[in-house]
Amino acid sequence: MHIPDAFIPLSQSLIYWVIALIFIGLSLRWARQELTDEKVPLIAVLAAGIFAIQAMNIPIPFGTSGHMVGAALAAIVIGSPFAGIFVLTLVLIVQGVLFADGGLTAMGANIINMGVIGGFVGFYGYNTMMGISRNMYISAFLAGYLSLLVSALLCAVEMAFAGTFPLVPGLVSMGTYHAVIGIIEGGITAIALYMIASARPDIMEHAAGVAA
């Protein structure tokens, strides 16, 4: 879902960058206040894993492929939507600058779609589902799924503002493909959560709803 430069007029890219910078600032403030020293290696390993898995495009029907974004996973494991923004911002900078994966002028929009939406929908979606289902893995799957689908639909709206896609056909196309790609996002989020919870139950205590 990495938007290339050509898809958004420069003036609009600038607006997305300004909004993204506000969230980057908030995520840095979160890191200063909440990211404890012992969580730093964990978030670094998560970021490395998320970068690698983003390179793994999985084929879906319709001659299309999709890959995991990972903001929901980071937000759930670290316990804050800002963790998703923190990780995805750095992933997108490295991808855009070194590998031409996602534009540079369009990076603000990509940070909003994948980092901000991914982090917030992933984190609050997970907590809401935990309240209903009390099952970490069902909650993680649905939160991952929903985070990807909402990102894609917002992307379609941005493409409509840009004049790149007509609104309704854009929503239908983006919705169709990402309704399938969401299964990849949700599935890997749940599997990764299971692996982390099995190896280190202590890390996942907050996410298992012990506080409730």
Partner 1 sequence: MDQKTFLMAGVALALLVAVAAPFLASGSPDGLESAFFGLYGAKTLTGSELDDDQAEVAEEEVVEKTGNDFEFASPMPDYTVEGWDKAGEVVAVVLGTLLMLGLVWGLGRAVAATKQ
Q: Using CA atoms, how far apart are residues 100 and 186, in angstroms rounded to an integer?
A: 26
| φ, ψ (nearest 5 deg) of residue 63 | 60, 35
CA atoms within 13 A on the CB side of 145: 13
* Dihedral sign of CA atoms 144, 6, 60, 173 in order: positive
Q: Contact with partner 1 (CB under 8 A): which of 105, 139, 147, 189?
A: 105
Closest distance of CB 55 from partner 1, Å: 4
210 binds partner 1, rule: CB under 8 A: no
Q: Report CA dihedral (149, 24, 201, 151) to the nearest 10 degrees.
A: 0
Closest distance of CB 138 from partner 1, Å: 23
What SS3 class is residue 78?
Answer: helix
66 binds partner 1, rule: CB under 8 A: yes
Going by the DSSP 8-state scheme, the letter that residue 1 receives in this structure is: -
Q: Contact with partner 1 (CB under 8 A): which of 9, 22, 25, 134?
A: 9
212 binds partner 1, rule: CB under 8 A: no
Q: Contact with partner 1 (CB under 8 A): which of 15, 22, 25, 62?
A: 62
50 binds partner 1, rule: CB under 8 A: yes
Number of H helices, E strands in the chain: 8, 2
Closest distance of CB 212 from partner 1, Å: 26
136 binds partner 1, rule: CB under 8 A: no
Q: Contact with partner 1 (CB under 8 A): which of 116, 136, 181, 193?
A: 181
Kindly write out the interface string for residues 188-207 of this chain, putting x where it contacts partner 1 by CB under 8 A and - elsewhere. -----------xx-------
Structure tokens, 58: 């999985």
